Structure 1
Amino acid sequence: MDEALQQELQQGLRYWLLEQDICRRLLHAPRPLHTSAQLTAAEVLECHAAKSFDYRVLCLLLFRLTKKPYDEALLSFLRLDEMLVDISDDLVDYEDDVLANSFNIFRCYIQLYGREAELKLVERISSLEEQHGLLLAGLTEDMREHYWRRHREASEGQGSDRWVFPPPIYDEATYRERIRREEAQAQEVAVAVFAQSVVPTVP
C-alpha cells in the first residue's frame, strides 16, 4: 500500500470519528435557533471534504490495478466533483438524514448559521464550482468531453441540474417524533388492510 492510499484511508477514519462526534452534538441540540451544538465551520467542512474517501480509494486502486501512474490533475478534479455531488445528495436526503441523525452539510449549516444557512451554503457551492471549473479546464480535451457527456446524461430530468434546497427543519426532535408516529400509524393501517384481505368471506 502506497502513501496516497494510506492517506485516504486515514481520511476515512477521520471522517468516521468526526461524523460520530458531530452527530452526537446535533442530537443533543435539536433546535438550532435556540440551542447551539458547539459546531465549528472548520470541522463541518473537514468532515464534508473527507466524506467521499471511499471513492478516492477506489480511484487510486484503479490506477494501481491498471499499472498507470496517478493522474494528479484528474484526481484533484474528481475530489471537487465528489464534494459537489455530496452536497447535492445531502440536499436530496436532508429529511432522511435528520431522521437518522446522519451527517448532512445542510443540516450542519442550519446549526451554524440558522436562517442564513441556505445563503451560506450557496456561497460554499459557488466557491467549489469555481474551483471545479478551473480544474476541469486543466484536463485533456477527451476528459472534458467525457465529463460533459456524462453531465448531460445525469441532468436529463427536469430541474436535476439545479440546486434545490429543502425546507429547513428548526426542531429536529419534534420532526422525528411526528414522522415516526405517522410511520407507525401507516403500518397499523397496512396490517389492518392485510388482515381483512386474508380473512375468508362467509358465503
Structure 2
Amino acid sequence: MQDDVLENNFNILRMFVRIYGASSAPTLLAKSITEAEEKYSYLLSALDPQLALTYKRRCEEATKEGSWSSSRDMVHTTDYRR
C-alpha cells in the first residue's frame, strides 16, 4: 500500500477511507470482503465439480504470479505522504 500512496494509484482501502472515514473503513471493508467471499462460495458450489476444481487451480496459479498486501498503518495516507 505504501507504493500505492506514493504513486497515487487506486487502492480499495484508500477509497473506503475517503468514503467512510479512517475509523470505519477497515471494518466496512472487512464486511464487504466477507460478503463477496460468501457469494463467491455460493456461486462456486453451483459449478460443475470438475470446472470448479479447474477454476480453483487457476486462481492458485494467478495468486502465485502476483502479490497482495495491506496494512492498517496506512489508513492515514496523508500522514504517510508527509
If the length of structure 2 is used for normalisation, what is the TM-score?
A: 0.71
| Alpha-carbon distance in structure 2 between the residues aligned to 1:154 and 1:102 | 21
2:70 to 160, 165, 173: 165
1:106 to 13, 22, 30: 13
- SS of 1:165's partner is coil
Counterpart in 2 of 1:121?
29
Q: Map 1:62-81 onto structure 2 (within 5 A).
A: none
| Structure 1 residue ranges without an equivalent (≥5) | 1-93, 178-203
2:45 to 137, 145, 149: 137
Shift of 1:169: 3.9
Larger radius of gyration: 1
% same residue = 35
Root mean square deviation, CA, Å = 2.6
| Structure 2 residue ranges without an equivalent (≥5) | none
| Alpha-carbon distance in structure 1 between the residues aligned to 2:77 and 2:41 | 37
Q: After superposition, give the CA deviation of every residue in 1:52-76 in whole Å (9 maximum; x if it has no partner).
A: xxxxxxxxxxxxxxxxxxxxxxxxx
2:80 to 175, 178, 188: 175
Contact kept, 8 Å, 1:118 with 1:165, in 2: the verdict is no
Shift of 1:107: 0.4
| CA gap 1:101/1:139 in 2 versus in 1, 3 angstroms | same
- SS of 1:115's partner is coil
| CA gap 1:123/1:169 in 2 versus in 1, 3 angstroms | closer
Return the letter of the residue paired with 2:81: R
If the length of structure 1 is used for normalisation, what is the TM-score?
A: 0.33
- SS of 2:70's partner is coil
Q: Map 1:87-102 onto structure 2 (within 5 A).
A: 94-102=1-9
Q: Map 1:6-17 onto structure 2 (within 5 A).
A: none
| Alpha-carbon distance in structure 1 between the residues aligned to 2:5 and 2:27 | 20
